Amino acid sequence: MDAGKAKHVVSELDAYAHWFVAPNPSHGGHYMTVTLFAEFADTGRIARDTATVFLRGAVPRDLMYDAQLAISELVGNVVNHAVPDRHRSSPGACRRIDVTYKLFPKWLFIGVADEDSTPPLLPMGDFYSPELVTEFSEAVLADSGRGLMITQRMAAAVWWTPKDGGGKTVWCRFDLDGEVEDGPY
Ligand SMILES: Nc1ncnc2c1ncn2[C@@H]1O[C@H](COP(=O)(O)OP(=O)(O)OP(=O)(O)O)[C@@H](O)[C@H]1O
Ligand SMILES: [Mg+2]
């Protein structure tokens, strides 16, 4: 990350008392980890805003919007589903979410880590034939279980890894092959 952009990220991040950011310049790529807490009402918005700050000008615009949506879904899943492992939880404590960005010339990796070792239920493919969806859409279209499917459709890959000491990270990878557009967006 160049100095100007790093300064901008830091100034944006300072606006939020419950964020902290850990850029890691020791690797070949550009890394950033943002820690959020599931109990704050604006966590989803902050996750999207952080994605904008980090990715704007660094990836094609459409990819930035896809990444924002994926992050929103993955962070929303922690808020809605993560129950920290017993040994990591304490009464009244906020649930921690670490959003990691790893940006390389050809790939963007995004990881959303929580303190729950339960794996996400990753969809295995299309469950309904297109004919069925057209005729009986109200009956067959679920009103939940869509977030990871949407993420799978947008990203090149979605998977998860266990964390040492408990918890897990849900990862997605976007492939960078488009031109980065200049100008405001
Ligand atoms: N971070 C997580 N921790 C624990 N379980 C998870 C996590 N993310 C997903 N899951 C599990 O995987 C399932 C599928 O997630 P998905 O985002 O596709 O659907 P959903 O969150 O149930 O509904 P929707 O995203 O459509 O509102 C969830 O219902 C939950 O059981
Ligand atoms: Mg979801």
Interval 141-145 mean pLDDT: 71
Is 3.30.565.10 the CATH classification of the domain at 3-175? yes
Question: What pLDDT sits at residue 90?
Answer: 72
Q: How confident is the model at residue 16 (pLDDT cuts 50, 70, 90)?
A: very low
Q: Give the Cα separation of 133 and 130 in Å (integer).
A: 5
Nearest-CA residue for atom 1 of ligand 1: 78
Q: Are 112 and 78 contacting, i.e. CB atoms less than 8 angstroms apart?
A: yes
Interval 146-159 mean pLDDT: 95
Q: Give the Cα separation of 127 and 47 in Å (integer).
A: 30
Which residues have their alpha-adjacent CB atom under 5 A from ion ligand 2? Answer: 77, 147
Question: What pLDDT sits at residue 118?
Answer: 96
Q: How far is CA 43 from CA 25, 61, 126, 149, 183, in A?
A: 26, 23, 31, 22, 28
Distance 163 CA to ligand 2 centre (A): 21
pLDDT in tens, 94-129: 899 999 999 988 999 999 999 999 999 998 765 555
Question: What pLDDT sits at residue 125?
Answer: 65
Distance 168 CA to ligand 2 centre (A): 16
pLDDT in tens, 27-77: 566 888 899 999 988 899 999 999 998 899 889 999 999 999 999 999 999
pLDDT in tens, 165-176: 999 999 999 999
pTM for the whole thing?
0.82
Question: What pLDDT sits at residue 14?
Answer: 46
Q: Are 180 and 129 contacting, i.e. CB atoms less than 8 angstroms apart?
A: no
Distance 53 CA to ligand 1 centre (A): 26
pLDDT above 50 (res 15): no
Q: How confident is the model at residue 22 (pLDDT cuts 50, 70, 90)?
A: low
Among all ligands shown, which has an atom nearest to the Cα of 38?
1
Which of 43, 77, 98 maximizes ligand 1 atoms within 8 Å of its Cβ, making it the mutation to test the pocket?
77
Question: What pLDDT sits at residue 44?
Answer: 92
- CA atoms in the 13 A half-sphere facing the CB of 10: 9
